[in-house]
Amino acid sequence: MKAKKTTAFFSLGAGCYGFLEILWRGYTHWSMLCAGGICFCGLGAISAWMKKEGLWLKCLVGCIWITGVEYIFGLVFNLLLKRNVWNYKNQPFNLHGQICALYSFFWFLLCLVAVPLAERLNQQIK
């Protein structure tokens, strides 16, 4: 991605994710803004790379991408730095308390909106 497009995608992802997290949990952490920005940049790349694929497949790949970013951020901020930003240990099918099946499903649902938005932005921002 070019600098202008990367900045737009990162800013939109950071802002929207922070806003959604505040609505969902009542607070956020600055690291989640970074994760949201990286996730939306990835969705922009996925939508450009998989241009001819269907929405469901793009959302599945996007869900895997977001879950991977969440896992890495969880390992760094929750386990290594002990910031305790979130904990999924009480959720079924969790991995080290950092990711779980339920939130991966939520990321898939979020991709149903975010991927078409990323596609539109890819077309509009050169």
Look at the chain and report how many structural domains it folds into.
Answer: 1
**Domain around 77:** 3-124
How does pLDDT run across 92-125, given as a tens digit for each residue? 999 999 999 999 999 999 999 999 999 999 999 8
Report the C-alpha gap between 108 and 13 in whole angstroms: 15
Distance CA 43, CA 46 (A): 5
The answer to whether 86 touches 38, Cβ cutoff 8 Å, is: no
pLDDT digits (tens, 9 = 90+) for 2-60: 899 999 999 999 999 999 999 999 999 999 999 999 999 999 999 999 999 999 999 99
Backbone φ and ψ of 100, nearest 5°: -155, 165
Beta bridge partners of 94: 100
Q: What is the pTM of this model?
A: 0.94
Q: Which two tokens stand for residue 98?
A: 């950092």
Asked if 125 and 16 touch (Cβ cutoff 8 Å), the reply is: no
Closest-CA residue to 41 (of 70, 77, 73, 5): 5
Residue 76 has pLDDT above 70, yes or no: yes
pLDDT confidence of residue 126: 75
